Structure 1
Amino acid sequence: MKHIFKEGESLDSPTLLLLHGTGGTEEDLLPLVDYIDPTANVLSVRGNVSENGMPRYFKRLAEGVFDEEDLIFRTKELYEFLDQAAKDYGFDRQNVIAVGYSNGANIAGSLLFHYQDSLRAASLHHPMVPRRGIDLPDLSGKGVFIAAGTNDPICPAQESEDLKAILSGAGADVKLHWESQGHQLNLGEIKAAQDWYQQLD
């Protein structure tokens, strides 16, 4: 998968897995590192799927309707890529913290839904519920931050509440943060994510 890796202060530091929104690239979320943890390793990955020339992490059938078969395949692909990247670059595979926006938040959420050991924690900005009606792994000890918009036209407020409930039900420690800025990534939620990150165990 096309990506950027930047070593932080130490390979033992947390590794921030940056996952862009639809139409983005592996460059998009790099500025967030300065807010969240300038000392962290950074692994920023471009989605392998193209929708009308726009990079994404998995296919969709319509706005808000995921291609579940492709989602499962692409989640496994990303999970295996993380395993290999940890070997190639030498970072701690057990200390990967995802920072995802929109489509990137959805694939990060899907990692949590499908693989217990995929992430240590995740900061999900404007995510949806990746899949419904499945049993999640035990997510005890996993921290999850969800940034949602009260007037988000793409991701209804109930979607965010449902995601929090599902992840909490699997044992994750979930913080749901609300903004009134629609679907865009904004400074208020980035600062809230920074505060959440600094309180992680």
Structure 2
Amino acid sequence: MADLGFTHVFRSATHPDAPTLLLLHGTGADEYDLLGLGRSLDSGAALLSPRGKVDENGANRWFRRLREGVFDVDDVIARAAELAGFVRRATDAYGLDPATVTAVGFSNGANMAAATLLLHPGLLRRAILFAAAAPLQGRPLAPVDLSGVQVFLGAGAADPITPVDQARLLAEQLRQCSAAVQMHEHPGGHELPPDVLNRARQWLAATAT
């Protein structure tokens, strides 16, 4: 299979009617990094895991940043369009149901998923975002209707990389666009605690029915 625009890994579903998890890694990781997380969230799901194209001093990322915590928003917009195109091509190439595609992202990957939700409404119906920030820093949000979209957010109150206020802002932005958002804050930092993973697993099982 051609790379469809992104180097990626695809694992077929092992259970009928299981969702497809679009796995978006964090800074410095690759297309293999979140496969275990995907299986933990839904052991029967199809896994579609691309690699971010941006190279930051040898670390894979989804979009450029000007410095720590400051995104190149023009690049965010361009890269979200690239990812949206990949998702459309991959669902066609692998015979997937677009309505079941659920983005799962950590940190930079969660930011990319959030940008894709806001900039390409209708592409994703569900997303699980761990350690996410509001991706369109300083830009007014275009009026988009995310009615029917469901989002799970996990955020650390002591996260030094993605301050919890950024996750709260993202949750508010998504709600303003009529998305249904479930947010869980934990006392830790830039991590995915077992309790938050369990809550995300339960949320996915409930929303996939």
Q: TM-score, normalised by structure 2?
A: 0.92
RMSD: 1.3
1:22-41 matched pairs, under 5 angstroms? 22-41=27-46
Contact kept in structure 2, 1:146 and 1:160, CA below 8 Å:
yes
State whether structure 2 residue 147 is matched by structure 1 residue 140. yes
Quick one: distance in 1 between partners of 2:33 and 2:157? 24
Quick one: distance in 1 between partners of 2:127 and 2:19? 12
Gaps of 5+ in 2: 1-5
Contact kept in structure 1, 2:39 and 2:45, CA below 8 Å:
no
* Deviation per residue, 1:142-167 (Å, 9 max, x gap): 11001000100011121111111110
Contact kept in structure 1, 2:29 and 2:59, CA below 8 Å:
yes
State whether structure 2 residue 202 is matched by structure 1 residue 195. yes
Q: Which moved more, 1:1-10 or 1:162-171?
A: 1-10
- SS at 1:55 equivalent: strand
Quick one: distance in 1 between partners of 2:165 and 2:107? 16
The AA in structure 2 aligned to 1:188 is D
Correspondent of 2:71 among 66, 69, 72: 66
Correspondent of 2:101 among 96, 105, 113: 96
Where does residue 175 of structure 1 map in the other structure? 182
Where does residue 51 of structure 1 map in the other structure? 56
State whether structure 2 residue 119 is matched by structure 1 residue 118. no
1:12: how far off? 4.7
Contact kept in structure 2, 1:11 and 1:41, CA below 8 Å:
no
Give the aligned length.
201
What percent identity do the matched residue pairs reach? 43
Where does residue 164 of structure 1 map in the other structure? 171
1:48: how far off? 0.6
Runs of 4 or more above 4 Å deviation: none
